[in-house]
A and B are shown apart, each in its own frame.
Chain A
């Protein structure tokens, strides 16, 4: 959480708002890799048709 706070402070202080989408996407990709490394992602494979 400290790390995320630091990034947020950096964006806020330097007004680099354009970094927000890039940070969100990197966060999403990180979450995907983390989830797929275990079986935690398994429940999401179930889809309806």
Chain B
């Protein structure tokens, strides 16, 4: 230890000490004030009751200039839970960004619109929006265990598929590391140390961004097109078929978790502009549009999504879960989206309108209304 007494040794020791003090200071700061508002800590999902986001928006077409996005006392979007909750026809819509509608103002997301549309037939209906940006079916399982099992709504609508694409393992942590010890350590540190939690969330965010399905405006005047060879297409589709089998296992787990808690699940297959079709608005061939950081085109991405949707349909049939194929009933019209996946104000309205009829049929059968 004689090196510590040298000039360099002293400098290094002071530097290490300074680094530790600085990290401690940063940790304390993040514990008291964390502006990110990340949704995950360790293996827990965080909700933010009464949180209000005000976003000045000038880029996302078909959305409000000033977006006001609020959470209620449950940390969800929509009306406050009623006092007579147990006697109400309570529904929670669970999903990812296409359900949450982060850039849609209060009252303009599809679950909130659906509630208003159903009030005529079901005056005692109450629907809340529990969409969480980026959440896959694995996150839905955690959400069901942590929140839905306590809230116990009568119905849980799961609108998913998109965030499960490419998810070969059970969850993000599994794909982050195959070593279970590292996985466990990452979860533990992320749960207990704010700096690690922030770093991990940022890592997940940037990994997710690579998939190219984060929010953004699409400029149809300067669209980038891509052609993929038949061989590449075949390889991509084959690898996704195995991932889709794992998706089916997660859906089955979701069904078990909801039914165990007296909640009836309803599945809605994901829709998007990614398909082999011409846009009804711009007449552009949607199939040629580049997605996933220009690695894929919309036609193949649409085929991949269809593999997941068919798995959902098959699982729903096997487990006798009510299923709505939104991809078949939503028109391929870019005026309903601000990018390839996310609804704008009119898209959410049309989507709610399209799923209303089959959902009413289900409610009438189930509750004999």
**Least CB separation from A32: chain B residue:** B35
Give chain B nearest CB distance to A37 CB in angstroms: 9
Knowing that A18-B18, A44-B205 touch, tell me 17 more A-B residue pairs with CB under 8 angstroms: A15-B11, A21-B15, A21-B22, A25-B25, A29-B29, A35-B35, A41-B35, A42-B53, A45-B37, A46-B133, A47-B133, A47-B205, A48-B135, A48-B172, A48-B205, A49-B40, A49-B142
User: How far is A19 from B22 in the complex, measured between Cα atoms in Å?
Assistant: 9
Contact between chains at A24 and B205 (CB < 8 Å): no
Decide yes or no: A45 and B39 within 8 Å by CB, A21-B15, A39-B56 being known contacts.
yes
Chain B contacts with A in 9-40, Cβ cutoff 8 A: 11, 14-15, 17-19, 21-23, 25-26, 29, 33, 35-40
User: CB within 8 Å of B: which of A5-49?
Assistant: 15, 17-22, 24-25, 28-29, 32-33, 35-36, 39, 41-49
CB distance from A26 to the nearest CB of B (A): 8
Chain B residue nearest to A41 in the complex (CB): B35
Q: Judging by beta carbons under 8 Å apart, are A44 and B36 in contact?
A: yes
In the bound assembly, the distance between CA atoms of A25 and B155 in angstroms comes to: 47
- A-B residue pairs, 6 tightest by C-beta: A36-B35, A49-B139, A18-B18, A21-B22, A46-B133, A21-B19
Q: Are A29 and B134 in contact (CB under 8 A)?
A: no
Chain A residue contacts of B202, Cβ below 8 A: 44
Q: Which of B79-123 contact A (CB under 8 A)?
A: 97, 102
B204 CB, nearest partner CB in chain A, Å: 5
Specify which chain B residues have a CB less than 8 angstroms from the CB of A35 in the assembled complex. Answer: 35
Which candidate, B207-215, B272-280, B318-326, B357-365, is the interface stretch facing chain A?
Answer: B207-215
Q: Chain A residues near B289 (CB, 8 Å)?
A: none
Pair B134/A21 contact, Cβ less than 8 Å: no
The residues of B with any CB-CB pair to A shorter than 8 Å are 11, 14-15, 17-19, 21-23, 25-26, 29, 33, 35-40, 45, 53-56, 97, 102, 132-136, 138-139, 142, 163, 171-172, 201-202, 204-205, 207-208, 214-215
Chain B residues lying within 8 Å of A43, measured Cβ to Cβ, are 205, 214-215
**Nearest Cβ on chain B to A1's Cβ, whole angstroms:** 22
Question: Which A residues lie at the B interface, using CB under 8 A?
Answer: 15, 17-22, 24-25, 28-29, 32-33, 35-36, 39, 41-49
Given known A-B contacts A39-B56, A41-B35, A43-B215, A48 and B25 have beta carbons under 8 A apart: no
Q: CB distance B22 to A49 under 8 Å?
A: no
A45 and B38 contact, CB distance less than 8 A: yes
- Measured in the bound complex, the distance between the Cα atoms of B215 and A46 in whole Å is 10
